[in-house]
Amino acid sequence: MKSSFYKLLFLSTALVLLTEITNSLIGLKDLLYNSFNEQLTKKQIENAFAFQEKWHWVGYLIVPLVTIIKTSLIAGTLYMGTFFYSKILVSFKKLWGIVLSAEFVFLLVPVFKMIWFYYFKTSYKLEDIQYFYPLSALNIVGLEGLEPWFIYPFQTLNLFEITYWLILAYNIGKATQTNMDDGLKIVIYSYGLALLLWVVTVMFITLNMA
C-alpha cells in the first residue's frame, strides 16, 4: 500500500507540473482572454481571471482526488474481471497498484501536446487545444464535418490507451500466474466493457446537449 501511495503522489505531482508547464508554453491565458473577449466585457474577463487565480490552488487538490477515483473504479472493474475470468483472485490493493503503474503512460499526453503546439503547430486557437489529442484517431479523421458527439470516441481511440491496455494485460497476466493473452482477456471483459459504456454515455450526453 505504501508503494501505491508513492505512485499516486508522484503521478499527481507530475500531472500538475506538466499541466502548468504546458499551459504556460502554449499561452493558455491569452487564448482564454481572446475567446472570452468575444462574449464578455473587459471587466467581466478580469473578474473571471481574478477568481481563477484566487482558487487556483484547489486544482492541485482535485488532481489526486480525481486520480484516486478514476484508478479505484478501474481497479474495481478489473477485480470483477479476475473474479469471473481467473482461477487466481487478485486483491483489490494489488490491482490498484497495477492501475497506478499503467497510468504513468498518460503523462506522455501533455508532453506530446506541448511539443506539438510549441514546435510544429505554432498558430492555433483555443478550440485547437481543446480537441487535440496526440496519436489519436481524431487526428486522422479531423474535426471538419465530424459530428460533435463523435469527437470523444475518436479521442479515446489512441496509442496511449492501447499501450495502457497492454501494460494492464501484462501485469494482470503476471498477477494471475498466467500470461499476457489471458491478462488481455480480463482487461477486455472488464475495463474494456466499462470504458465502452462510459464512451457511449458521453456520446449520449453530448448528442442531447447539441
Q: Quick: pLDDT tens for 149-167.
A: 899 999 999 999 999 999 9
What global pTM score does this model have?
0.90
What percent of the chain is predicted at pLDDT more than 90? 56
Are the C-beta atoms of residues 90 and 186 closer than 8 Å to each other?
A: no
Is the predicted pLDDT of residue 71 greater than 90, yes or no? yes
Is the predicted pLDDT of residue 44 greater than 90, yes or no? no
> Residue 203, Cβ neighbours under 10 Å: how many?
17
Work out the burial of residue 186: count CB atoms within 10 Å of its CB; fewer than 13 is exposed, 13-18 middle, 19 or more buried. buried
**Cell numbers 478514476 label which residue?**
70
